[in-house]
Copies of this chain bind each other. A is one copy, B any other.
């Protein structure tokens, strides 16, 4: 696996029971996954020679992030190393312009969008629809709210063009809430769909995931799952695919979904599956890239809630553990071994049960206490 972040850490954890020999390419020995994996190579994933040396002896290469240059992935494939997901799929996760063009071509509903060339073009884009605000995104390099601007005036539309990367303009969708449809697909074409979840963001960063999404119309849930399965198939995704969605309300009171973003790897919106599904997203990602039959994605509890733990007041979690574990013996804590920096994702908690209010309260309390924003 290329990339030493928490997704690699949790993928290794999920691979241990399968007897998988897990090899990691990590930037530093202190990275989240490098702390817990036996076979670690320290190196730069942007360097082809490093990648080639790392890949030697691997049965398959997969990724903790989407930043490995596509041409390097093609070179690995030319060397005979299976790359999953492959470069032809990953390009859609790396470049939002390519992604939007492909989703348009296969008939997947998206926010109104087009590539814009300069601030004047942004004004034209706004005029083509309902005017400002407009969402501007650099087509490459963004994540967790970075590389995304919501502009209210032409004057605000200058920053995104400074990076020298093409800029995608999108209508600012007046959504009811955000959803995520996660699926896993294997090379021989088997696919499973997890229940559609509600994802609540704070400051552009995922904060809370509720599985399944409460009060979601069955037909809309089915439509969202089918869209994710279609995208996985049409883009030839292998492994876990997260499709981030906007749920919108139509004039007649009905709801629709529009695709916001794609991620082709285990994803924050699937962390609930570790404790809430029969097979976790990490276990199914491992099974998919090895072309093993996929595990059952169905939930084990009526409700599962995931809340991210952001860096806060506790550099050492021990004393916070004492409180959280004593208060809630059913709480599931997942920490990433990262140094605590304000606002950085350093872990998450999962709770599950029959009463959504209770499950939500327990997860929020624990995440707030671990961060230091709740002190009782």
Contact pattern, A 324-351, Cβ under 8 Å of B = 1, otherwise 0: 0110011111111100000000010000
Neighbouring B residues of A347 by C-beta, 8 Å: 19
Q: A22-B36, A38-B35, A40-B38 are in contact. Are A296 and B330 (CB under 8 A)?
A: yes
Tell me if A98 counts as interface (CB < 8 A to partner B).
Answer: no
Docked complex: A331-373 residues within 8 A CB-CB of B:
331-337, 347
Rounded to whole Å, the gap between the CB of A264 and the closest CB of chain B is 22
Number of identical protomers: 2
CB-CB under 8 A from A279, the residues of chain B are 329-330
| Residue of A12, A22, A35, A40 with highest tally of chain B CB at under 10 A | A35
Within 8 A of B (CB), among A255-302: 274, 278-279, 287, 290, 292-296, 300
B9 touches A13 (CB 8 A): no
The yes or no answer to A321 lying at the interface (CB within 8 A) is: yes
Q: With an 8 A cutoff between CB atoms, is A322 at the interface?
A: yes
A123-158: contact bitstring with B at CB < 8 Å (1 yes, 0 no)? Answer: 000000000000000000000000000000000000
How far does the alpha carbon of A331 sit from the alpha carbon of B290 in the complex, in Å? Answer: 17
Residue A76 at the chain B interface, CB threshold 8 Å = no
The answer to whether A335 and B17 touch across the interface, beta carbons within 8 angstroms, is yes
Confirm or deny: A37 has a beta carbon within 8 angstroms of a beta carbon on chain B.
yes
Q: Which residues on the B side are within 8 Å of A21 (C-beta)?
A: 35, 337
User: Which one of A37, A325, A334 has the greatest number of beta carbons of chain B within 10 Å?
Assistant: A325
In the complex, A296→B332 CA distance in Å? 10
The answer to whether B38 and A37 have CB atoms under 8 Å apart is yes
**Interface 1/0 per residue, A224-255 and B, CB below 8 Å:** 00000000000000000000000000000000
A293 to B135, CA, bound (A): 47
**Which of chain B's residues have a CB closer than 8 A to the CB of A322?**
292-293
Q: How far is the CB of A333 from chain B (nearest CB, A)?
A: 6
Nearest chain-B residue to A324 (Cβ)?
Answer: B293
- A164, B337: Cα distance in complex, Å: 49
Residue of B nearest to A337 (CB): B19
Query: Contacts A36-B12, A37-B36, A321-B292 given: A17-B326 contact, CB under 8 Å?
Result: no
Q: Are A295 and B335 within 8 A (Cβ)?
A: no
Q: How far is the CB of A176 from chain B (nearest CB, A)?
A: 33
- Chain B residues in 8 Å Cβ range of A274: 17
A75 in the interface (beta carbon within 8 A)? no
| A34 part of interface (Cβ distance < 8 Å) | yes
Is A165 in the interface zone, CB < 8 Å from B? no
Nearest B residue (CB) for A329: B296
Asked if residues A326 and B293 are in contact (CB atoms below 8 Å), the reply is: yes
CB neighbours of A294 from chain B (8 A):
325, 329
Tell me which of A17, A37, A287, A334 has the highest count of chain B C-beta atoms within 10 A of its own C-beta. Answer: A17
Residues of chain B lying within 8 A (CB to CB) of residue A336: 19
CB-contacts of A6-25 with B (<8 A): 9-10, 12-13, 16-19, 21-22
Q: In the assembled complex, which residues on chain B have CB atoms less than 8 Å from the CB atom of A22?
A: 36
A317 at interface, CB cutoff 8 A: yes
29 A-B pairs in the complex with CB atoms less than 8 angstroms apart: A9-B16, A10-B16, A12-B16, A12-B36, A13-B13, A16-B36, A17-B274, A18-B335, A19-B335, A21-B35, A22-B36, A35-B38, A36-B37, A37-B38, A38-B38, A38-B40, A278-B329, A278-B330, A279-B329, A290-B318, A292-B322, A293-B325, A293-B326, A293-B329, A294-B325, A294-B329, A295-B330, A295-B331, A296-B329
Starting from the known contacts A35-B38, A295-B329, A296-B329, 9 additional A-B residue pairs (CB-CB under 8 Å) come to A13-B17, A16-B36, A17-B274, A18-B321, A34-B38, A36-B38, A292-B321, A293-B326, A300-B300
